[in-house]
Every structure is written in C-alpha cells, then in structure tokens.
Amino acid sequence: MVFELLINPKKAEGKPWELFFLGFAYSILGLIIGYIIFRSYVSLVMVVLAVIASVPFMHSLISREEQKDLAIGD
C-alpha cells in the first residue's frame, strides 16, 4: 500500500507519535470501505481491513528488531 511509503520502521523509531496518525488513517479507510461494501458488518470489516493494512509495516518492524538483536548478540 501507499501508507508504507509514508513511514518506515526507522522513521517510526524516531517519531512514534506518527504511528498514531497512521493507525487512525488505517481505521478511517477501513470504516469507509467497510461501510460501502458490507453495511451490516461495518465494525468487523473495519477491524479486519485495518489489521490487514498494518501487517506489512509490522512485518518490516519485527524484521528490523530481529536484525538489531542479532547484531547486538554478536
């Protein structure tokens, strides 16, 4: 997605408050898409879409932390 281009894990480490706004954007996007497509299950679809949107960022963040741990352990 485009959101991963806005903030990367290295930048997020220095400015964690920006992650709040990124999460807010994911939630609003999930709400809009969920309301348009699944009106009867908006809350469930909103959460699912927000989680799916945040998975690539979380994966890169965890990978970065593992690399830092391996570098410290050597």
Provide the residue ranges of all domains of the chain, joining segments of one domain with +.
20-73
Q: Which residues contact 39 (CB under 8 A, 6 or more apart)?
A: none
pTM, 2 dp: 0.71
Length of the chain: 74
Asked which of 11-15, 56-60, 67-71 is least confident by mean pLDDT, the reply is 11-15
Residue 73 has pLDDT above 80, yes or no: no
- Encoding tokens for residue 60? 């890169």
CB 23 within 8 A of CB 7: no
Check residue 30 and give its pLDDT.
86
Per-residue pLDDT, averaged over 8-20, amounts to 81
pLDDT 10s digits, 48-66: 888 888 888 888 889 988 9
17-37 and 42-73 are packed helices; what angle lies between their axes, rounded to 10 degrees?
A: 150
